Each structure stands twice: as C-alpha cells, then as structure tokens.
C-alpha cells in the first residue's frame, strides 16, 4: 500500500499478452475516459482488461484462456487503485489453466476481496439481457448490488443457500422430518435476505426510473418486486404448508431464490414493449442509479464500462447520456468507433486504439 492519491479510482492500468493488445500502461482519468478506434482495433479488449482486473474474469468469455495472446503462455493485467485511504496494487494473471490474483504483494484466495476494491458495472449488448432474460440475471444483479452496500448480505445469502440445499436434498429423499429441521434456518436467513433486498430496491429502483423517465418521457415505467413467496405470509409458514407438495417436486418452490423484479413500460413487460435503444437507456439508468447508490458513503470509486455507447442511440439521446455520465460519481470507460458520434466532453481523457496499440 502507498500514500493516498489525489483522486479515487483506477489511476494506472497495465497489461501484458492480453489478447492482441501491445504491452503498455495508461493513466486514465478518474472521470470519463473515451476509447475510440476502428473495428477490431482493441477497444472492447481494453474494457475486458479492466473487467479482468476487477473481477478476475472476462465479460466476453467463460474461458479465461481466450484472453491469452496467441502464442503467449500467460496474460497479465495490473493496476493501481486509489481509495480514500490508500493506493492498492492489484494484479491478475492467467496462465496454465489458473487465475492468480495479487493484492498489495500477497496472493488473494477470496476473489470478492479484490472485487470489493473496484465496484464495477458493464453496459453492453449483453447487459440488456437483464430485461430480456429470465429472473436469474436479475437476481444476480440484485445480489451484487446489495452486496456492495451491505457486506453482511453475502453471509446471509450463503446461509440461506446452504439451508435451501440441505432442505432440497431432504425433499428429494422424501424425508419430511429432515426437511422440516432445515426450515427455521432457511426462513430466518430468507427473511433477512428479503429484508435487505427490499431496503435496497426501495432506494435504487425509484432513482433508476427517475433517470430513465428523463430519457423516455412518453413512457410510464413501473417496477414490482416479487419476494419468491406469498405476500404478507411468513416464509416459515409457507415452507411448512408447501412441504408435502415439494416432496413430490423434489425441490423448494418458495423463497428468495425464486425472487424477481418486474419492470413494465406502459403496463407491459419492458422487454416486450421497448425498442432496443429504449432498452439500452433503461438498463443504463438501472446501472447509473446503482453506481450512484454505491457511491454514497463508499471509499471506493465505482467503475462503469460502456461498450459502443453511440450504438442504437439517436443524437439527442447520446448527448443526454454523456451529460448524465459527466455527473455520475464513477470512473467511466466508454468506447466508440468514431469520436464524431459523441458530444464534446470537456473533462474526458481520450485514448485512440489502433491494431492493439493504445495511445493516450
């Protein structure tokens, strides 16, 4: 650890043998960074490198070996991350089928320790699956959001999942007595998880929809949260009532593992009603509001990666989006093929990428 830096965030980023990027290091702005260049220049790869550093994995592939440059043995990304108190050195290396994370000179085994240092969100075409896919993606997003505001949440969620697994195993064996033994633990942890989720959602979603409403003024946006069990009933009662039916199913049908968030536009499911561009704006609003919520009282500066910001947006919406991003308490990295597609941003730092070479 070093002395505190003037500004929070990723103040230096370097890489070696990471896909087709030439070995280099850059000193990004802690506000907006624009990465531009032609197709296949390496813009998305640069975002991927930041993701790799923050989360020890890619957002493009589950197979980390793919990030290793053709012909190289390992890929490395490293960075210096300034928080309010210190400057941390973080490094992620992938080679020989394993990923190693180093934080301030020591190996990190619990990856969330490193993930905690750089709260990160990605806005790309995949991110729109938050609206179009099933509830699993939304629950993962919700869990990640709550975890960054309430670190104890992870333990409660793990406790719940453990009890759920044990009860499911008992249900599959038809062992009603053992299933009942796990119910008080499952209900206690489940209610705690639900409580934290609701507190978080009540703050986050109204703010997200306010941001989105400014971009989609003619659309009425609403949200609803489904806990995963009957409203108003205690989870313990619901589990006891459902036990017999669940034995025949072989797994638990109720609880926070079945939760979902429903977003509607003019009363219709948002994914079915909104255009691609409108969906992009809504997802951007969800992520910006999350980042603003994280930013409050946190010593870590969140990072927002936006791949091809101009795509699918008309001129006025591009301007609105960039103006909004200028006020977000986050470090933003956005890519664009052509700088002409973006409005002038006074504070931004510009990086040009050509054939894998990044120039500041």
* Nearest CB to ligand ATP, comparing residues 122 and 189: 122
Give me the least distance between CB of 43 and ligand ATP, in Å please: 3
Is 19 one of the binding residues for ligand ATP (CB under 6 A)?
yes
Give me the least distance between CB of 67 and ligand ATP, in Å please: 6
Find the binder of ligand ATP among 39, 96, 248, 346 (CB under 6 A). Answer: 39
Pairing of strands 74-82, 9-16: antiparallel
102 known ligand binder? no
Find the binder of ligand ATP among 111, 337, 349, 357 (CB under 6 A). Answer: 337
Instruction: Report how far residue 9's alpha carbon sits from residue 24's, in angstroms, rounded to the nearest whole number.
Output: 19
Task: Tell me if 328 sits within 8 A of 303, measured CB to CB.
Answer: no
43 known ligand binder? yes
C-alpha distance from residue 295 to each of 3, 27, 322, 347 (Å) = 22, 22, 19, 20
Is 96 one of the binding residues for ligand ATP (CB under 6 A)?
no
Per-residue 3-state assignment (H helix, E strand, C coil) for 259-319: CEEEEEECCEEHHHHCCHHHHHHHHHHHHHHHHHHHHCCCCCCCEEEECCCCCCCCHHHHH
41 known ligand binder? yes
Find the binder of ligand ATP among 1, 7, 40, 214 (CB under 6 A). Answer: 40
| Residue 277 φ then ψ, to 5° | -65, -40
Is 255 one of the binding residues for ligand ATP (CB under 6 A)?
no
Task: Tell me if 222 sits within 8 A of 264, measured CB to CB.
Answer: yes
Interacting stretch for ligand ATP, rule CB under 6 A, among 41-49, 150-158, 217-225, 325-333?
Answer: 41-49
**Closest by CA position to 163, among listed 200, 199, 190, 123:** 190
* Nearest CB to ligand ATP, comparing residues 43 and 167: 43
Task: Tell me if 104 sits within 8 A of 289, measured CB to CB.
Answer: no
Burial 205-238 (b: 16+ CB within 10 A, else e): bebbbebbeebbeebebebebebbbeeeeebeeb
Give me the least distance between CB of 230 and ligand ATP, in Å please: 46
Q: Which residue has the tokens 């001129």?
A: 315
How many residues in total does the chain contain? 360
Find the binder of ligand ATP among 8, 30, 33, 45 (CB under 6 A). Answer: 45
37 known ligand binder? yes
Find the binder of ligand ATP among 10, 32, 34, 41 (CB under 6 A). Answer: 41
Report 64-93 residues binding ligand ATP (CB under 6 A). 66, 68-70
* Nearest CB to ligand ATP, comparing residues 144 and 350: 350
Instruction: Report how far residue 91's alpha carbon sits from residue 80's, in angstroms, rounded to the nearest whole number.
Output: 9
**Closest by CA position to 194, among listed 141, 143, 264:** 143
- From residue 278 to residue 317, the character string flagging contacts with ligand ATP as x (rule: CB under 6 A) and all else as - is ----------------------------------------
Instruction: Report how far residue 239's alpha carbon sits from residue 223's, in angstroms, rounded to the nearest whole number.
Output: 26
* Nearest CB to ligand ATP, comparing residues 19 and 287: 19
**Residues annotated within a binding site for ATP:** 37-44
Residues interacting with ligand ATP, by CB under 6 A? 19-20, 37, 39-45, 66, 68-70, 337
């Amino acid at each position: 650890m070093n002395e505190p830096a003037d500004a929070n965030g990723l103040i230096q980023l370097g890489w070696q043998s990471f896909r087709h990027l030439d070995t280099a290091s850059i000193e990004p702005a802690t506000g907006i960074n624009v990465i531009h260049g032609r197709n296949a220049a390496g813009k998305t790869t640069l975002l991927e490198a930041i993701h790799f550093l923050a989360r020890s994995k890619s957002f493009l592939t589950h197979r980390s070996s793919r990030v290793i440059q053709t012909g190289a043995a390992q890929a490395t990304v490293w960075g210096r991350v300034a928080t309010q108190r210190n400057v941390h050195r973080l490094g992620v290396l992938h080679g020989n089928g394993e990923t190693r994370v180093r934080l301030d000179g020591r190996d990190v085994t619990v990856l969330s320790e490193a993930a905690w240092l750089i709260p990160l969100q990605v806005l790309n075409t995949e991110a729109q699956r938050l609206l179009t896919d099933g509830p699993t993606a939304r629950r993962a997003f919700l869990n990640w959001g709550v975890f960054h505001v309430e670190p104890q949440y992870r333990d409660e969620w793990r406790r719940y999942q453990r009890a759920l697994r044990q009860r499911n195993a008992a249900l599959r064996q038809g062992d009603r007595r053992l299933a009942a033994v796990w119910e008080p633990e499952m209900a206690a942890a489940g209610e705690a998880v639900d409580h934290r989720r609701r507190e978080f959602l009540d703050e986050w979603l109204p703010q997200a929809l306010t941001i989105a409403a400014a971009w989609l003024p003619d659309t009425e946006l609403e949200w609803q949260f489904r806990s995963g069990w009957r409203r108003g009933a205690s989870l313990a009662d619901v589990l006891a009532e459902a036990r017999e039916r669940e034995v025949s199913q072989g797994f638990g049908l109720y609880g926070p593992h079945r939760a979902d968030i429903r977003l509607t536009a003019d009363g219709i499911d948002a994914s079915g009603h909104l255009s691609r561009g409108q969906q992009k704006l809504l997802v951007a609003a969800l992520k910006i509001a999350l980042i603003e919520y994280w930013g409050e009282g946190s010593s870590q500066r969140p990072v927002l990666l936006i791949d091809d910001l101009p795509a699918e947006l008309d001129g006025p919406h591009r301007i609105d989006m960039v103006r909004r991003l200028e006020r977000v308490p986050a470090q933003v990295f956005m890519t664009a093929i052509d700088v002409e597609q973006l409005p002038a941003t006074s504070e931004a730092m510009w990086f040009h990428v050509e054939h894998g070479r990044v120039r500041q």
